Structure 1
Amino acid sequence: MGSVSASSKTLTFRVTRQKPELVRPAKSTPRECKLLSDIDDQEALRIQIPFIQVYRNRDDPGINESRRRSDPVKVIREAIAKALVFYYPLAGRLREGPGRKLMVECTGEGVLFIEADADVTLEQFGDAIQPPFPCLEELLYDVPHSGGILHCPIVLIQVTRLRCGGFIFALRMNHTIADGVGIAQFMNAVGEIARGASAPSIQPVWQRELLYARDPPRVTCTHHEYEEVVVDTKGTIVPLDDMVHRSFFFGPAEVSALRKSIPLDLSHKCSTFDILTAFLWRCQTIALQYDPNEEVRVICIVNARFKFNPPLPQGYYGNAIAYPTALTTAGQLCEKPVGYAVELVTKAKRVVTEDYMKSVADLMVIKGRPRVTLVRTYLASDVTRAGLNEADFGWGKPVYGGPAEGTVASFHIPFKNKKGETGRVVPIFLPGLAMDRFVNELENFFLSHNVRPHFRRTTSRL
């Protein structure tokens, strides 16, 4: 049993944790070895990704009296064990074979689970129910020796009861096993079982062979995302010793202003993600003050499930994402109107096809699973339709559900603000002075379009 005081500039609370335990599948599961796909085991995905779901203890007509009095820790722990019968690879451990090929040894050892209590109410969080979360390291404790890619638990879950009767469900998963859609699918399966279902409504599908490299492998598309970029020591160096993490809410007024700033024909054919990503890429490039001749990039993470013919099976929870990339110079991006950046973003996304995905898988095998290039790159991911804000364990849907932080990637996260406006929150991670310039750039744009932005002032310095 551990006790720790957690604090931020705006909030201080105490978290008491029970000893971490392993939750195993509720029934016997197959003991076998399952290969990951050649999309799964690329270098960019060999990370742990954290998610957080925040729940009220609401007197909702849809929540019966017995459920309101139930212990969410007990309910969720039991539901995880039952869900792992269907998602049994998650209870195994990753191994690495020849050619750095990853596989899951389905051992049934279980996922890590932590029971905790926090001496704080949900109301005390105020505007902080979005990244950066105060004291995230206490709401999702990094159990020593648990965060590796190989020979470690694939999933870590902490359920923290709040003093008001609400609770926080935090999850960390090895990204090589699942993408955002797959992780949401698992969480929703746990939720369905917690609410009394005997099985998930969407059965999990492994079938990683659908994204194996071809034989023989052959790169048939251009992949700027995996190009090795040489960093010129004379170029712009981004300082990493004073990084600031902030989130920005973009509602209907902000999106409308952005659409009015680009040609009408372009506005009609681009998504909210396209225009917001293009705008934020441009603002970040201005804020970082790159040399005008330096090459800059934007990477849009694309869900490729429906790019296949036929589409990947419903229930496929492996990584089915691509990293299409657009390139230009800092000078062109900053000097030209936002529409220029929007066209680059939409053009980049269009290259993702079934052949493109097969070409990526082949490139992984041929080139030894290279990293995604992040030099002078803005990386954006749309999780508004991933289902991360849908998990209902019996206490209703979360007031926030999505990534726990935004560092390398800027996630577009569905969010409803205190005014009831539905929009998206986007975490941004920049050096301190660059963040000041970034905020000024945003505010100047929206004020010039008669929109008073309501950007949250809370920051987290790392």
Structure 2
Amino acid sequence: MSLVVSKSLPVVVRPSEPVTTATKIMLSPMDKILSNVAVRALLAFEIPIHEPAETIKRGLSRALVYYYPIAGRLAAAADGDIYINCTGEGVTFISASANYAMKEIMSSVDQHPPDVPATAVLLELTANYSAQGVSRTDPLLLMQVTMFSCGGFIVGVTWNHALADGFGMAEFLQAVGELARQLPKPSVVPVRWDESAQVMPPSLLAACYQIARCLPLPNIVEQNITIPWSLIRHIRGDTDGQTCSCTMFEAVAAVLWQCRTRTVMCDDRPDAPTVLYFWVNARKYMGAKDGYYGNCITTNMAVAKIGTVANGDIMDVVGMIRRAKEQIPEQFNKDADMAIGDQLSHWQAGYDNALMLTSWRNLGFEDVDFGGGKMARVMSTCLILISSCQCAWCAYLAKGN
């Protein structure tokens, strides 16, 4: 399809009121690890609202009063330590319109030809950093609101990962929606610095650092993969009101891990290891305060033989993933260094068959409402890396229901 997106010139949105609070916000160790990574999310809304771009821009300006660090810039102290300088310089905002109905765009993303990357369409719906990547002088957040001929609209948000993880950005966008709907203040009081959320075992930080060094991924081929609901329900045993045998994430991760392992496996190496890494919201394990929107994530892995994953029963693969999830709380115990050290040694050993997953379900994006009801779909770039290390980063695209 020939998508034409007409974009206005970028404008700067600043806090709607003067901010007289702290001028310097320290970054947590995890924030610093991710400070060179840009994240992109798109929220699709089917029900029209009055002047979407102007309505959301007003809500954004009001939200920056409460989330004032987002209007700042990254800076470095004399010792090289990175922090957010609360300059109030603002964020970038673009108003746009497209020449198709939104359902046509979504259909093209879901059913794109193999030689046409789905993200070629999605990139038109977001404001993006330069090809050279994120710099300290760039705004910490970019937003684009694209209106479609049907009246629906998509809010595309791009941000420096040092600012927030997915849960934190969903919290901020909920606040933008609440203020766009003329609520007097956000329902959640934001917290940008939380001492309790900064305490992570050094070995766990080291493991996360080694993995995060792969981001952004080089030499990638971008794909959009749809897993049928019928397959997910079959794996979960979700029929006739029966109790589901696994979570949505476990079912989807098992399918992706097994299918990809079958694709890359060599018949003469069935006993070689295959690794599944996944990122997890760690707020409940770290005791973070309500409203904390900095990075509060951890990672864990499931390891198995290639032949076991590729040829085994799908429920056995689900079981491997579940056991890896159950080990996550142990990472924060005082005796966790040995287990985390094993994880780090596995990564440093350079497994040549690793899959990295992150799920965007249940982060709070589904609760964002700018005035016409909650979103119909949240999307992000889904990256499949075809390279010597055979690594991948997949964002699970979640429907609103």
Q: Give the TM-score, by structure 1 length.
A: 0.70
**CA–CA separation in structure 2 for the residues paired with 1:399 and 1:331:** 39
**CA–CA separation in structure 2 for the residues paired with 1:144 and 1:226:** 24
360, 364, 378: which one aligns with 1:383: 360
SS of match in other structure, 1:148: coil
Partner letter of residue 36 of structure 1?
Answer: L
Aligned length: 368
What do residues 286-317 of structure 1 show as CA deviations (whole Å, max 9, x unaligned)? Answer: 11124324322101211111123xx3221111
- Check if 1:115 corresponds to 2:95: yes
> How far did residue 24 of structure 1 move?
0.7
Partner letter of residue 38 of structure 1?
Answer: P
Greater C-alpha radius of gyration:
1
Q: Give the TM-score, by structure 2 length.
A: 0.80
**CA–CA separation in structure 2 for the residues paired with 1:85 and 1:24:** 9
> How far did residue 141 of structure 1 move?
3.4
Gaps of 5+ in 2: 112-117, 212-217, 238-242, 385-391
**CA–CA separation in structure 1 for the residues paired with 2:285 and 2:130:** 40
- Check if 1:332 corresponds to 2:308: yes
Contact 2:208–2:298 (CA<8 Å) still a contact in 1? no
- Check if 1:257 corresponds to 2:234: yes
- Show the 5 A alignment for 1:126-275: 127-128=107-108, 132=118, 135-142=121-128, 144=130, 147-213=133-199, 219=203, 243=221, 245-251=223-229, 253-259=230-236, 270-275=246-251
Partner letter of residue 98 of structure 2?
Answer: A
What do residues 107-131 of structure 1 show as CA deviations (whole Å, max 9, x unaligned)? Answer: 1000111122222222432523669
Q: Indicate how the Cα distance of structure 1 residues 28 and 373 shifts in structure 2: closer, same or farther if over 3 A, else same.
A: farther
What do residues 219-264 of structure 1 show as CA deviations (whole Å, max 9, x unaligned)? Answer: 4x79866669xxxxxxxxxxx878351221332x31232246xxxx
**CA–CA separation in structure 2 for the residues paired with 1:42 and 1:89:** 18
Partner letter of residue 181 of structure 1?
Answer: F
Partner letter of residue 248 of structure 1?
Answer: T
**CA–CA separation in structure 1 for the residues paired with 2:85 and 2:179:** 25
> How far did residue 145 of structure 1 move?
7.6
SS of match in other structure, 1:323: strand
SS of match in other structure, 1:173: strand
Q: Indicate how the Cα distance of structure 1 residues 99 and 303 shifts in structure 2: closer, same or farther if over 3 A, else same.
A: farther
SS of match in other structure, 2:365: coil
Task: Report what 2:395 is aligned to.
Answer: 411
- Check if 1:283 corresponds to 2:267: no
SS of match in other structure, 1:12: coil
**CA–CA separation in structure 2 for the residues paired with 1:405 and 1:135:** 13
SS of match in other structure, 1:389: helix
**CA–CA separation in structure 2 for the residues paired with 1:165 and 1:393:** 14
SS of match in other structure, 1:314: coil
Q: Indicate how the Cα distance of structure 1 residues 140 and 104 shifts in structure 2: closer, same or farther if over 3 A, else same.
A: same
- Check if 1:54 corresponds to 2:44: yes
What do residues 316-352 of structure 1 show as CA deviations (whole Å, max 9, x unaligned)? Answer: 1111111101222323322333333223212221222
Contact 1:31–1:108 (CA<8 Å) still a contact in 2? no
- Check if 1:27 corresponds to 2:17: yes
What do residues 19-78 of structure 1 show as CA deviations (whole Å, max 9, x unaligned)? Answer: 1111111111235111111122225x63111111122245xxxxxxxxx4x311111111
**CA–CA separation in structure 2 for the residues paired with 1:223 and 1:346:** 24
**CA–CA separation in structure 1 for the residues paired with 2:277 and 2:309:** 15
SS of match in other structure, 1:164: coil
What do residues 334-387 of structure 1 show as CA deviations (whole Å, max 9, x unaligned)? Answer: 233333322321222122227538879xx99xx9xx999785211222222112
Contact 2:37–2:160 (CA<8 Å) still a contact in 1? yes
- Check if 1:307 corresponds to 2:285: yes
- Show the 5 A alignment for 1:321-360: 321-353=297-329, 356=332
Identity %: 26
Partner letter of residue 255 of structure 1?
Answer: I
**CA–CA separation in structure 1 for the residues paired with 2:372 and 2:23:** 36
31, 42, 52: which one aligns with 1:40: 31
Contact 2:275–2:353 (CA<8 Å) still a contact in 1? yes
**CA–CA separation in structure 1 for the residues paired with 2:187 and 2:289:** 14
**CA–CA separation in structure 1 for the residues paired with 2:302 and 2:15:** 44
Partner letter of residue 27 of structure 1?
Answer: E
Gaps of 5+ in 1: 1-10, 59-67, 229-239, 261-266, 417-421, 423-462
Contact 1:52–1:170 (CA<8 Å) still a contact in 2? yes
Q: Indicate how the Cα distance of structure 1 residues 410 and 242 shifts in structure 2: closer, same or farther if over 3 A, else same.
A: closer
Q: Indicate how the Cα distance of structure 1 residues 218 and 121 shifts in structure 2: closer, same or farther if over 3 A, else same.
A: closer
Contact 2:358–2:395 (CA<8 Å) still a contact in 1? yes
> How far did residue 268 of structure 1 move?
6.5
**CA–CA separation in structure 2 for the residues paired with 1:218 and 1:339:** 34
Contact 1:50–1:405 (CA<8 Å) still a contact in 2? no
Partner letter of residue 99 of structure 2?
Answer: D
**CA–CA separation in structure 2 for the residues paired with 1:98 and 1:371:** 32
Q: Indicate how the Cα distance of structure 1 residues 102 and 53 shifts in structure 2: closer, same or farther if over 3 A, else same.
A: same
Contact 2:72–2:89 (CA<8 Å) still a contact in 1? yes
